[in-house]
Amino acid sequence: MTAGLTRSLRASSLSLGVLCLATLAVRAETPLERGTYLMQSIVACGNCHTPKDGDGKPIADRELAGGFVIDAPVFHSVSPNITPDKETGIGNWTDDQIVDAIRNGKRPDGTIIGPPMPIAYYRNLSDSDVRAIVAYLRTVKPIKNKTEKSTYKIPLPAQYGPTVRSPACPICRAPTKPHTADISRRRSGIAWTATPRWSMAAAIWPKSAPAAGSSRRPAGD
């Protein structure tokens, strides 16, 4: 083999290697990566489920440990612990039970989750996205923290609409297509930090539920 040929073979295996690396870089997201992205952006469970310090900043080592209080004229809500702690969190819930809580607002014992958890928005999460969120929740550090119960001066609905068993995208109807973009469009409903607390609670209250004392609702919902 000539020196020239060896050199050009070496060069081409090098460029093959670079090509492989490039291919790796564009590989599909894992469910955990997708879940991390969703949690850190639009689904923002931590806005309510992570307790805050005196300056209103999330307490880093208490991620999703609950106990954050939101007071509104018709409720005093306390976010529960949703870390994988088996005793005080959701460590004993199955994946399906967590999915049901997020999309249908139902706990494993059949009770309904009250506001301000924005079930009306989370109902539109695709199977793949909601399961990506569960994948993320499984990786959170378990924290023992028993939280107080929320109290409501209004009756909670029996349920938030027809039970969502598969993705309920009103636009594409595709069973597995992520349609987080749809949620993203209505982002104002869950970006509560940018909205006065009470108007957000009113905005996320589903239309079928008893009027909660305000006419503010997301446009076009």
Q: Which residues contact ligand HEC by CB under 6 A?
A: 43-45, 47-49, 77, 79-80, 82, 90, 98, 101-102, 107, 113-114, 116-118, 122, 133, 150, 190, 192
The minimum distance between CB 22 and ligand HEC, in angstroms, equals 34
Would you give the end-to-end CA distance of the chain in angstroms? Answer: 71
Nearer to ligand HEC, 4 or 110 (CB): 110
Minimum distance from residue 177 beta carbon to ligand HEC (Å): 19
Nearest distance in Å: CB 28, ligand HEC: 22
Which one, 156 or 169, has the nearer CB to ligand HEC? 156
Which of 124, 150 has the CB closer to ligand HEC? 150
| Distance (Å) of CA 91 to CA 78, 138, 150, 215 | 19, 8, 21, 38
Q: What single-letter amino acid sits at 88?
A: T
5, burial (CB in 10 Å: exposed 0-12, middle 13-18, buried 19+): exposed
- As a dihedral over the C-alpha atoms of residue 11, residue 17, residue 18, residue 22, rounded to 10 degrees, the angle is 160
* Beta carbon of residue 175, minimum distance to ligand HEC (angstroms, whole number): 20
Please say which residue, 4 or 180, places its beta carbon nearer to ligand HEC.
180
106 secondary structure, DSSP code? B
In the numeric block, the tokens 């870390």 are attached to 83
CB of 64 to ligand HEC, least distance (A): 8
Tell me the two tokens of residue 32: 């955990």
Q: Could you tell me the smallest distance in angstroms from the CB atom of residue 27 to ligand HEC?
A: 26
Residues 191 and 45: their CA atoms lie apart, in Å, by 11
Structure tokens belonging to residue 192: 């509560």
Q: Of 10 and 86, which has the nearer Cβ to ligand HEC?
A: 86
Work out the burial of residue 91: count CB atoms within 10 Å of its CB; fewer than 13 is exposed, 13-18 middle, 19 or more buried: middle
Tokens, residue 207:
């239309």
Nearest residue to 70 (alpha-carbon basis) of 111, 103, 117 = 117
Question: Which of residues 21 and 123 has its CB atom nearest to ligand HEC in the complex?
Answer: 123
